[in-house]
Amino acid sequence: MRRRDMNMTKAIDARLAELGLGREAKYQLPGGQKVPWRLSPQPFVLDDERRGCLSRFGFLMTRFYFAADRIYQSALSDARTGFVADYLDAGKPEAVIQYGRHARFKGQLPLILRPDLLWTDQGFVATEFDSVPGGAGLLAGMENVYRELGHAVPSTGDVFARTLLDFHGKGAVAIVVSDESSAYRPEMTYLAGLISSEDVPVLCLRPEELTISSSGVFFGTLKIGTIYRFFELFDLDNVPNGHSLINAAMQGSVRMTPPPKAYLEEKMWFSLLRHHALEESWQKHMGESAYGELLALIPESHILDSRPIPPHGILPGVTKRGRPVSSFDELRDLPRGERQYVIKPSGFSEFAWGSKGINLGRELSTKAWGEILEVALAGFPLRTHILQKYHYSLLEQVNYYDFALDQVLDFAAKIRYCPFFFLSRKTALSQGGVLITACPAEKPLIHGMTEAVMVPAALG
């Protein structure tokens, strides 16, 4: 069986490279390996409990984004909740703010939603929500490869194709990937090839390859009807044609998804979810039951706001040596044993995606922790950060093929679950597959590192 597993993993590695998904490595890969992460000979099988929880997440995320969009729009004209827009617009150029408020995008939500989930002793915990997620193409390709080898896994590529084509009108589709997001270009190229047909050409393009005129958006003589935006709004000034493409979408000459709503891409929503002044609004737009469910899945989070509060005020839920505090500044010398927090950028920053900019309190010295907290507070409001409760993943055994040793090995892993959900006008909510990232227990953060196993989940 082990020899069969070795041969199967080699076949997976070779096939991924053929599909253009063996991302370029900055080092020599061992034993002829072609992808710079560990591969398992079989998908990760989800039990009934986790499978049921994951399917529910799609509904909860949809309600969350619908409610968040409504709450932001209401805050623009409501003095009682105006602080919501103040927080979410802070540090953003006026053009980006106005893009998100444009009538053309009213009510529009992103087509693809992906939470980052950990399995803990209390069930799933969501560390982040992503509405411009990477990984869909990689997952689709891996699923196809494992399916070719006889495994029963979903088809994320098929669900993505249906959703994008439901959104699309006439002409061609352009998946536009900026240089800042170039690491994802191979998987987006793969997705484009998977979806493209004679009736609806789908291309993965750099933004500078497009021409914008009064007649529309073109790639050569091919008219583009839909743009799938895979470039970040914080990087917009560095994206050739970036502003022009959004303006074309506002004028109606091309459709764009996800909509350029920078306020929906902020992690500080996790803090606003628990704000007492917004509780009724969340319940109204999500439904009381769904709101309660989501609260149980979201870690306690706080916007690192450096403004003073009255002397009698406290920061709800934040303590030091068992006592409430009245300022985040008081946490600079927080004992390591109480530093079960991460500090990370909220969203409009080059450090707000992947594992960039995340600082885990228990891994830092008191001096380093204090300095990072000081920088985060000093950056407010132009560069907003959040303080989020850290949750421990339960360890699980995961196997992989070691190309250097020519052996299938096991290790204790912390696992990140990334299910993909798709919103469509015609088919409503659809669930794709789940990308599993398993990292060694001693690694503080879970991401697509060299030592991580990345594998699709089997949903039964």
pLDDT reported for residue 25: 73
What does the pLDDT read at residue 120? 95
Q: Residue 352: its pLDDT value, please?
A: 52
State the Cα torsion 56-132-436-415 to the nearest 10°: -80
Q: What is the mean pLDDT of residues 370-375?
A: 96
Q: Which two tokens stand for residue 440?
A: 């060694």
- Indicate if the pLDDT at residue 337 is higher than 70: yes
Q: Does pLDDT of 143 surpass 80? A: yes
In this prediction, residues 411-430 reach a mean pLDDT of 89
Q: Which amino acid is at 182?
A: S
Calculated CA dihedral for residues 260, 264, 268, 271, nearest 10 degrees: 170
Do 273 and 285 touch, CB atoms closer than 8 A?
no
Among the listed ranges 55-59, 88-92, 210-214, 219-223, which one has the minimum average pLDDT value?
A: 55-59
pLDDT at 354 over 80: no
At residue 266's C-alpha, the angle toward residues 262 and 272, to 5°, is 125
Domain ranges of the chain: 300-389
Give the torsion sign (CA, 336, 339, 345, 351): positive
The model's pTM is: 0.95
Token pair recorded at residue 300: 């306690």
SS3 state of residue 244: helix
pLDDT digit string, tens, across residues 226-239: 999 999 999 999 99
Question: What pLDDT score was predicted for residue 28?
Answer: 80
State residue 353's pLDDT score: 62
Taking all residues of the chain, what is their mean pLDDT, rounded to a whole number?
93
Q: Is the peptide bond before 381 cis (omega within 30 degrees of 0)?
A: yes
Distance (Å, whole) CA 202 – CA 212:
18
Task: State the Cα torsion 272-275-278-281 to the nearest 10°.
Answer: 70
Contact between 217 and 224 (Cβ < 8 Å): yes
Mean pLDDT in residue range 210-224:
96
Confidence tier at 355 by pLDDT (50, 70, 90): low
pLDDT over 60 at 1, yes or no: no
Element of type H or E holding 146:
helix 136-148
pLDDT of residue 213: 94
Query: What are the backbone dihedrals phi and psi of residue 408, each rounded to the nearest 5 degrees, phi first?
Result: -95, 120
Whole-number pLDDT of residue 345: 94
- Is the pLDDT assigned to residue 258 strictly greater than 60? yes
In this prediction, residues 29-40 reach a mean pLDDT of 90
Please report the pLDDT score of residue 428 as a whole number: 77
H or E, element range at 175: strand 172-177
Region 347-354 average pLDDT = 68
Please check whether residue 271 is in contact with residue 386, taking contact to mean a CB–CB distance below 8 angstroms. Answer: yes
pLDDT of residue 394: 95
Tell me the pLDDT band of 427, cut-offs 50, 70 and 90: low
CB 316 within 8 A of CB 309: no
